[in-house]
Amino acid sequence: MKALFNATIYRAEKTTGIRAALILTCFAGIAYYVLAWLLSKGELDASSAGSVTAMGDAMIIWLFGSLSVGMLIGNDFENKTVHGAMGYGRKNIVANYFLVFSVIIFLMLLTYTIGSLACIFSGNDMKGAEGAVISNYLGNVLVYGKETSVAKLILSYVAAFFVYVGQLSICIPVAIRIKKPVVVTAFGFIFGMLTALISTLASKVKMLDNIYRLTPYDCGMDKIGICADVSDMLVAIIVSVVFTALMGLVSYIIFRKSDIK
């Protein structure tokens, strides 16, 4: 299993699309904080806040995260690399995809996490950038105070990581089924943008609302930001882990029934 993981990580490192996604995510994270800082200083008009949010993790991770999943899995099927891994068993192949996917999401979130921590511990006043807050990371900067526990701050970022992994894990069974990076990217990005609409529609039907609350898509800033209760953060982590495991099961069922040609 370790050999399979190392080989997949190596292929991911050498995949131009994934490398580009990681680099662009890094630049987007830097741009997000720079533009938010300009907003806070009044050097950027408040009407530009909407454009700044386009650089936030909520947009970028869904776009490049789904692209990376599509490239990671789609390329393996297209290049028939998956054939050589069949000796490890389909269950291990699926588990391996989830592990590598989690590493990619961690790396994508790293710039946003570092930027948030840098703003907090440098004492950078970001008030005035509230219009650009679609990000748990920037949100934490704006509400962090001396009375805030560092442990709770770290837990907030851990929860955000698990929530993103859970949210984007839906792309993996789609990628195994469709095997087309472009289609997976389109699916992931559009689905990510529709989650707010899905939430609104689900809230009108009690049964659907109860189901939606058991998914990581209901774990917004109010549940994983530092103003949230620790219990809410832990619930968000548990829900995300369970949902990711469910997507793993769905992925395995799809992969088990697939003909590898």
Residue 161 lies in a domain: yes
Confidence of residue 161 (pLDDT cuts 50, 70, 90): very high
Distance CA 15, CA 156 (A): 31
pLDDT at 145: 78
Range of the domain at 132: 2-256
What is the CA angle 201-206-210, rounded to 5?
A: 90
Q: Which residues, in sequence order, are CB contacts of 55 under 8 Å at separation 6+? A: 28, 29, 31, 32, 35
Does residue 261 fall inside a structural domain? no
- The answer to whether residue 127 sits within a structural domain is yes
Determine, yes or no, domain membership for 11.
yes
Helices first, then strands: H and E counts in the chain: 13, 0
Angstrom CA distances, 74 to 94, 185, 236, stand at: 13, 11, 30
42 domain-assigned: yes
Write the DSSP symbol of residue 54.
T
What total number of domains does the chain contain?
1
Joined together, the tokens standing for residue 30 give 């830097």
pLDDT digits (tens, 9 = 90+) for 107-157: 999 999 999 999 888 887 778 767 766 788 888 888 887 777 889 999 999
What whole-number percentage of the chain has pLDDT above 70?
94
pLDDT in tens, 11-55: 888 889 999 999 999 999 999 888 888 888 877 776 677 777 788
The backbone torsions φ and ψ at residue 156, rounded to the nearest 5 degrees and listed phi first, read -60, -40
- In a domain, residue 231? The reply is yes
Instruction: Tell whether the torsion through CA atoms of 67, 196, 113 and 248 is positive or negative.
Output: negative
Burial class from Cβ neighbours inside 10 Å (0-12, 13-18, 19+) for residue 92 reads middle
pLDDT tens, residue by residue, 52-67: 778 888 888 999 999 9
Domain assignment of residue 29, yes or no: yes
pLDDT winner (highest mean) among 48-57, 181-190, 246-255: 246-255
How far, in whole angstroms, is CA 55 from its chain's centroid?
14
> pLDDT value at position 108?
95
Mean pLDDT of the chain: 86
Q: What's the pTM value of the predicted model, to 2 decimals?
A: 0.91
